[in-house]
């Protein structure tokens, strides 16, 4: 679909390259493991009841105003609710949060 792959690009089996993308030289396009695990998260989100969704929306609004940098300057430590933490296999490049 019009993607441009320059010399030395390696596209692994079941990897995805977006239409119209330009992949630079000697780049490795990894297997799309995070996309295959996304189906599990999607199924879990679709299984939530109306009340669970409304509670999560309220919690997101509450925690949206928290800025980690500001909190660290004034010495406040906040814990992220477990509902907001994605499994590590969804975002494999995500650095684990340091326990405080």
Residue 14 lies in a domain: no
Entry pTM = 0.37
Residue 41: give the domain boundaries.
31-86
Q: Is residue 15 part of a domain?
A: no
Confidence band, pLDDT 50/70/90 cuts, at residue 99: very low
Encode pLDDT of 12-27 as tens digits. 888 888 888 899 999 8
Q: Is 70 exceeded by the pLDDT of residue 54? A: yes
- Do the beta carbons of residue 1 and residue 20 sit within 8 Å? yes
pLDDT at 26: 92
Q: Is residue 9 part of a domain?
A: no
Contacts of 14 (CB under 8 A, 6+ apart): 31, 32
Q: Average pLDDT, stretch 49-70?
A: 82
SS (H, E, C) 11-56: ECCCCCCCCCCEECCCCEECCCHHHHHHHHHHHHHHCCCHHHHHHH
Do 97 and 86 touch, CB atoms closer than 8 A? Answer: no
Could you tell me if 20 and 37 are in contact, meaning their C-beta atoms sit under 8 angstroms apart?
Answer: no
**Total number of domains constituting the chain:** 1
Does residue 1 belong to any structural domain of this protein? no
């Amino acid at each position: 679909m019009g993607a441009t792959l320059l010399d030395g690009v390696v596209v692994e089996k079941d990897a995805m390259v977006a239409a119209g993308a330009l992949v630079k030289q000697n780049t490795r396009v990894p297997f799309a493991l995070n996309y295959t695990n996304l189906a599990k998260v999607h199924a879990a989100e679709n299984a939530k009841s109306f009340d669970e969704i409304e509670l999560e929306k309220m919690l997101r609004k509450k925690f949206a105003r928290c800025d980690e940098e500001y909190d660290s300057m004034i010495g406040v430590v906040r814990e992220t609710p477990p509902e907001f933490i994605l499994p590590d296999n969804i975002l494999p490049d995500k650095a684990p949060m340091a326990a405080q």
